[in-house]
Copies of this chain bind each other. A is one copy, B any other.
Amino acid sequence: MLLPTPKKFTLVAGAAEGATPLNAFDNALLISGIGNLNLVRVSSILPPAAQFVESLDIPPGSLTPTAYGYITSDRPGEQIAAAVGIGFTDDTFGVIMEWEGHGTAEQAEAEVRRMLEEAFRARNLRLSHMMFKSAEHRVERCGCAFAAVALWY
């Protein structure tokens, strides 16, 4: 028996300030709607036949396999961003890529798009379509930008 393979997914993103980097991260998760889950970080495959669901509806504390990117910064004025993307095939698994860094949400998504295109070339798979989610943030004192694909059952 394997660990169960996730059957559902959604994309979330958010940005926030916090008193510490971990609080900013926690607040960005809350804004993203997944702040009360136990994220288990995974690299980075959308299981075959996984179904898109608009929003998570699982109990607090659930162990939630999640592919995510994030950046925290305590330099006032800095523009930070994070994005995730999923590349889909017509009939098998998909690939998830994430990016975080300095820039806008639009730039972050453009980076993820290029990463997905390379990931599909490397697998010799046909890329049928993509989904993206991103967040950007201008740091006041201590901020975090976060983007994730959450996987569940």
Contact = CB atoms under 8 A, between A and B. Distances in A.
Interface residues of A, number: 56
A23 B119 contact: yes
A88 interface: no
A118 interface: yes
Contact of A115 (B20, B44, B97, B118): B20
A114 interface: yes
A55 interface: no
How many copies of the chain does the oligomer comprise?
Answer: 3
A127 interface: no
Top-7 shortest CB links A-B: A47-B61, A60-B93, A3-B63, A38-B42, A39-B43, A45-B61, A23-B118
Contacts of A123: 30, 35-36
Interface in A73-113: 92-93, 95, 97-99, 111
A43 B32 CA distance: 14
A4 to B, nearest CB: 6
A58 interface: yes
Nearest to A16: B122
B20 A40 contact: no
A44 B39 CA distance: 8
Nearest to A49: B61
Contact of A45 (B4, B6, B25, B60): B60
